[in-house]
């Protein structure tokens, strides 16, 4: 019977990030930035995001956001993401047999 190979050492991941939110009137400004490093060079990156949300009513909001990811490995292209949307929160009532 062949001997089993030892398991590779676990990959260590280290990250640091900061985020904030500023409310003013019907608007919310959201920002985030961070850095992640690992034992694998391919997984090292810096990223930041900025978004805004505008309240149309108590339960309906429109939002827009942008995110940039800067991969440290030259073989990977940096990534940019834009998000636009409409969010409506609905109230879900419990069905029969569930306490209110």
What is the per-residue pLDDT across 71-93, written as a single tens digit (0 to 9) for each? 887 778 889 999 999 999 998 87
Please state the three-class secondary structure of 46-68 as a single string.
Answer: EEEEEEEEEECCCCEEEEEEEEE
Residue pLDDT, tens place only, 28-84: 999 999 998 877 666 788 999 999 999 999 999 999 999 999 988 777 888 999 999
Please provide the DSSP assignment of the chain as one string: -PPPPPPPPPPPEEEEEEEEEEEETTEEEEEEEEEEEESSGGG-EEEEEEEEEEESSSSEEEEEEEEEEEESSTTSPPEEEEEEEEEE--PPPP-TTS--
Please tell me the predicted confidence (pLDDT) of residue 69: 92
Q: Which residue has better confidence, 3 or 58?
A: 58
According to the model, what pLDDT value does residue 28 have? Answer: 96
């Amino acid at each position: 019977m062949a001997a089993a190979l030892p398991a590779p050492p676990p990959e260590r991941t280290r990250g640091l990030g900061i985020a904030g939110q500023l409310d003013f009137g019907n608007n919310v400004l959201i920002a985030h930035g961070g850095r992640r490093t690992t034992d694998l060079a391919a997984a090292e990156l810096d990223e930041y995001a900025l978004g805004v949300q505008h309240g149309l009513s108590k339960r309906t909001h429109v939002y827009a956001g942008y995110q940039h990811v800067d991969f440290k490995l030259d073989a990977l292209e940096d990534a940019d993401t834009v998000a636009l949307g409409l969010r409506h929160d609905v109230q879900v009532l419990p069905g029969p047999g569930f306490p209110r």
